[in-house]
Structure 1
Amino acid sequence: MSVNELIAHDKGLDNTLDLLKEGYLFIKNRTDQYQSDLFETHLLGQKVICMTGEEAAKVFYDPERFQRNGAAPKRVQKTLFGKNGIQTMDGEAHIHRKNLFKSLTTPLHQKKLAELVLERWQASVDKWEGTKKVVLFDEAKEILCRAVCQWAGVPLPESEVKDRAEDFGAMIDAFGAVGPRHWKGRRARNRAEDWIKGIIENVRDGKIKAEEGSALYAMAFHRELDGSQMNTQMAAVELINILRPIVAISTYITFAALALHEHPECKEKLISDDNNYFEMFVQEVRRFYPFTPFLGARVRKNFIWNEYEFNDGILVLLDIYGTNHDPCIWKNPNEFHPERFKEWKGSLFDFIPQGGGDPAKTHRCPGEGITIEIMKTSLNFLINRIEFEVPEQDSSYSLVRIPTFPESGFVMTNIKRKIQTIDK
């Protein structure tokens, strides 16, 4: 008997329908059932290894063992990532491209973008005060779209904001979708790439002046390892890979508002911000609520881990949601408890809402700091800049739907600007 025959195997010839039925819990359900950190299954006609936990994350983010080239399905590249984007690269080429993204996500950039987001939130209040109800999820997408395009130097007429924000949202929504949602995401991707390609071409032709240091300038004039300029298509894909993830933070902001509503005991702690409570609250939102379900990579070379032989080329999925809810890592993982982050040591592999490992060397998202700062700024706005009521609504969210968000989008009514504000 081979070592691999000792490992748990899913029943059936293909388990894709089970994945669609179980969503975020597909991997976790099985690791719990099999009492194992990994198991074999078959998805979309191929053998797949699924694994979870801190030790699994350490292995998964070892570039000597895994590569991203060939891991992202074409359907995901045609909606979420863009064809041949940074998420599909490895080795020196990946590090070189990653350095470009890192240069645009420094603490200074984080601060500037968060300030622009706050300005946009505050500018929306006048309109909201005369509105019967506001759906936070929808508003957040437009506010983040305006702010990130202004920060990046991308021209965005006010008349186009809603459509551009919806296109970015459709790309994100298509990640785990089949049928109409997937096709909507593909159409949105095509429109966005055509739009950004035209802007890149105008920058290179001198018809649009891009400010040096902006994301638009950086992508338009980036040089590859061989010294060549990125082609227009690739430059557009990577600029969208800066813009789209910022709009995706609208999901986290909506979950943060839901957490605030469902856990009112947290509000006073946030107002006083004792022991950096804003940071803890935001991190707990990112841990507790579903965002990324899992991530994929392919085995670079044969190796054995956990008594299992990983063969070259096999697709492996790391359970992001399950690792963030792993009782071996987190005490009472299904309870919302921001104080758990008071003692958190900042491990690179136990808390992985946007990937694991060193962001300078692995595929962990370099924009994680931006996500945290925008969430803190938005939360501060909701607590200290406005007051509102939360009417009865369906605020549930499905763990089957990938990606997911509160069903109602979080409805707010009777919104008023606070006369006295507290800056955080």
Structure 2
Amino acid sequence: MTTSRASFLDQTLNLLAGGYAWLPGLWRRGDGRMVRTRVLGRPTVALRGPEAVRFFYDERHMTRHGALPEPVQATLTGKRTVHGLDGPAHRTRKHLFMSVLADPGRVTALAEEVGAHWDRRLRDRPAHSRVVVFDEAAEAITEGVCDWVGIPMDATDALAADMVALVDGFGGLGPRHWKARMARARREKWLAALLAEPDALPSGSVAELVARHRDEDGRILDPGIAATELLNIVRPTVAVAWYVAFAAHALHRWPDNRARLRADPGYADAFAQEVRRFYPIAPFVGAFAVKDLTWQGEQIPEGTLVLLDLHGQNHDDQLWESPYSFDPGRFTGASVRRDDLVPQGGGDPHTGHRCPGEAVTVAILRTLAVQLARLDYMVPRQDLTISLRRVPTRPRSGFVITDVREQDEAKRKSEAATPRVRSRQTGTAAI
């Protein structure tokens, strides 16, 4: 085992400037399966690979308490939430999320709700109108998830914009970060008022379950914390809009996938998994070593910041053949090994910190990917650059389409049918 000793200088500024490219750059300077560096003045190691996933998500090794920087808590996750808990407190709070986000019936209902809102929004648009796929997906998903959790639909477009801001603001500084902070304060206050009166919520709704949840000490959640945790259901669901924009990008670059999705909806699972593997979402996750540890013969002192390189692992040529080729076929007829594919983290979602909404992500993505493939549209000239330096990233234009209409039945059955295309690919330096 050789450790990459890429840099012992503090890498915080390089991380902010490099985005998804930062950790892979450090790996390339070494020749091992570990990187040693410093972040925020703290000794830091980075790991990747299935064994590293299992090591990282072992609670005997790591603690999440204090691992999320305040700017991330103030935008993406909120404070005093499940993300910063460990042990019994984490498992009790996590059970709330698993009970709604891992229930197959609820997941299917949510995906169908989102699909119906997507169809309605496109049907109601005037002919020849301009549609930004990212924006349309964010609004349709917001409408669907609000119906699903049982919260009011008033000012939905503003709510969608706030949910997008929460995700968009965590990875940067400046205006988008402060926009995210303001969005979180606004939405936590709004939801806390709703959840403070659980009897007024729809019976059996997700919102009521959150409002009445009791933590490991038997106490009902404070309305402020309940509001933050409900946002941790709504906000990551709306974040699937990033994947939908990536799906539109993939269908444009590799149009053969359109015919496969139209002819075989079962192909949508493989397509969705490859979108999640190929395109960048989370660069890494972090935790602190709870004691002196040894990883494959290398020492990790207590208190070290440990990063699990998610983006790097999803493009690791030791795990994936031709990792920089977009190939849904790698998932056709094959089960996804839990600790290989880690776009939303790894480990066991029931007992660890893996995202409990992974099934929701896949369900919504495959639903909207098929619905996109069944549309006929123009792709006008636009900037489709996907930058690895911006976190989170997406096609710069949001992926614009025009003259949208659903294909007639005869055309849909034709595997040779492809969208009318008029575009300028300005680069995908990120991919």
Q: TM-score range by the shorter chain?
A: over 0.9
1:216 aligns with 2:198: no
Query: What's 1:294 paired with?
Result: 284
Query: What's 1:335 paired with?
Result: 325
Q: Judge which range, 232-241 or 130-139, deviates more.
A: 130-139
Alignment partner of 1:395: what SS? coil
Structure 1 distance, partners of 2:66, 2:162, is 26
Q: 1:325-404 counterparts in 2 under 5 A?
A: 325-342=315-332, 344-384=334-374, 386-404=375-393
Query: What's 1:244 paired with?
Result: 235
Letter in 1 for 2:353: H
Q: 1:62-81 counterparts in 2 under 5 A?
A: 62-81=58-77
Query: What's 1:48 paired with?
Result: 44
TM-superposed deviation, 1:279 = 0.8
- Which of 89, 97, 122 is 2:93 aligned to? 97
1:141 aligns with 2:132: no
Alignment partner of 2:124: what SS? helix
Structure 2 distance, partners of 1:209, 1:55, is 44
Structure 1 distance, partners of 2:128, 2:305, is 49
C-alpha contact (below 8 Å) 2:6/2:30 kept by paired residues: no
1:110 aligns with 2:107: yes
C-alpha contact (below 8 Å) 2:4/2:29 kept by paired residues: no
Structure 2 distance, partners of 1:136, 1:216, is 28
Query: What's 1:323 paired with?
Result: 313
TM-superposed deviation, 1:351 = 0.5
TM-superposed deviation, 1:292 = 0.8
Structure 2 distance, partners of 1:346, 1:399, is 25
TM-superposed deviation, 1:303 = 1.4
Alignment partner of 2:409: what SS? coil
Alignment partner of 2:380: what SS? coil
Percent of paired sites with the same residue: 40
- Which of 19, 27, 32 is 1:23 aligned to? 19
Q: Which has the higher contact order (CA 8 A, sep 6+)?
A: 1
Structure 1 distance, partners of 2:41, 2:194, is 40
Query: What's 2:219 paired with?
Result: 228
TM-superposed deviation, 1:343 = 5.6
C-alpha contact (below 8 Å) 2:3/2:30 kept by paired residues: no
- Which of 391, 394, 405 is 1:416 aligned to? 405
TM-superposed deviation, 1:128 = 2.6
Q: 1:166-181 counterparts in 2 under 5 A?
A: 166-181=161-176
Alignment partner of 1:293: what SS? coil
C-alpha contact (below 8 Å) 1:53/1:322 kept by paired residues: no
1:189 aligns with 2:184: yes
Change (3 A) 1:406 1:215: same
Letter in 2 for 1:20: L
Query: What's 2:250 paired with?
Result: 259
Alignment partner of 1:371: what SS? helix
TM-superposed deviation, 1:126 = 2.8
TM-superposed deviation, 1:404 = 0.2
Alignment partner of 1:387: what SS? strand
* Superposed CA RMSD: 1.8
Structure 2 distance, partners of 1:258, 1:13, is 37
Structure 1 distance, partners of 2:192, 2:322, is 48
Query: What's 1:14 paired with?
Result: 10
Structure 2 distance, partners of 1:261, 1:169, is 24
C-alpha contact (below 8 Å) 1:129/1:414 kept by paired residues: no
Structure 1 distance, partners of 2:224, 2:390, is 31
Structure 2 distance, partners of 1:38, 1:344, is 29
TM-superposed deviation, 1:209 = 3.2
Q: What are the Cα deviations for residues 220-252 of structure 1, in whole angstroms up to 9, with x where unaligned?
A: 111111211111111001000000001000000
Alignment partner of 2:208: what SS? helix
Letter in 2 for 1:89: L
TM-score, normalization by structure 2: 0.92
C-alpha contact (below 8 Å) 1:129/1:416 kept by paired residues: no
- Which of 83, 88, 92 is 1:87 aligned to? 83
Structure 2 distance, partners of 1:110, 1:270, is 21
Alignment partner of 2:272: what SS? helix
Residue segments in structure 2 that go unaligned for 5+ positions in a row: 414-431
Q: Judge which range, 414-423 or 64-73, deviates more.
A: 414-423
